[in-house]
Amino acid sequence: MTKTLELFDLAPSPNNVKVRLALGFKGIPHERIAIDPADRSNLVEISGQPLSPVIRHGETVLFDSHAIIRYLDANFREGARLFSPEREEMKAIETWERHARGPLGQGVGIMFGQYFADPKDPAAFERACASIREATACIEEQLAQGPWLLGERLTAADLFCIPFANLASLTDATAGDSPILGFFREHFDLGAGREHTRDWVARGMAFDA
């Protein structure tokens, strides 16, 4: 395929980060187009719905981060692969995918709700932190056995999960001057005993160019 791939995204969103990590890991050239969260008419015009990320690749338009990652791996097969020809490994990847869509996303969802809430609810911050700590317990245990969730190589399982854990392991440097990331940095934290998880997040997020 020779058409330039276009990515329409909102920088802080973990669903958008997933796709950027996949593009970076696979080394796929692309044009990144930032979306104004207050005006999503461009997304609706391109894809028929208002959520990001969206990619456009020639005549092909896709939304939903998980669908996009599958498209990228199926259509850009040179170099590193995110999925597997082995059935058992694919089942393991999908198990982590469900974990990302469920337990990992719950605390993050609470935090995004609080970012827009007025007034803020301190009890909600506590619930969110408790949720992400519980959801990363199995990740910490798995990473004690190898550098990535499925062992020695990065797979889609890691890309599905890393963006959510990242929001609870931000530093002043990684939060930068983003108001949303600064909010997460202040109120959302993995807590103690997540050394493997923090290291895994840092290694994975390095692919976000």
Q: What is the pLDDT of residue 79?
A: 84
pLDDT for position 203: 98
Domains and CATH numbers, the chain: 5-75 (3.40.30.10), 87-205 (1.20.1050.10)
Residue 75: phi, psi to the nearest 5? -110, -10
Please name the residue that has the structure tokens 């890393």: 162
Beta-carbon count within 10 A of 97 CB: 17
Sites in the chain below the pLDDT cut of 50 = 1
pTM of the entire predicted model: 0.95
* Cα–Cα distance for residue pair 191/158, rounded to 1 Å: 20
How far apart, in Å, are the Cα atoms of 72 and each of 19, 79, 99, 156? 9, 12, 21, 11
- The first and second tokens of residue 52, run together, are 């990001």
In this prediction, residue 155 carries a pLDDT of 98
**Listed residue (133, 116, 111) closest to 187, CA to CA:** 111
Query: Mean pLDDT of all residues in the chain?
Result: 96
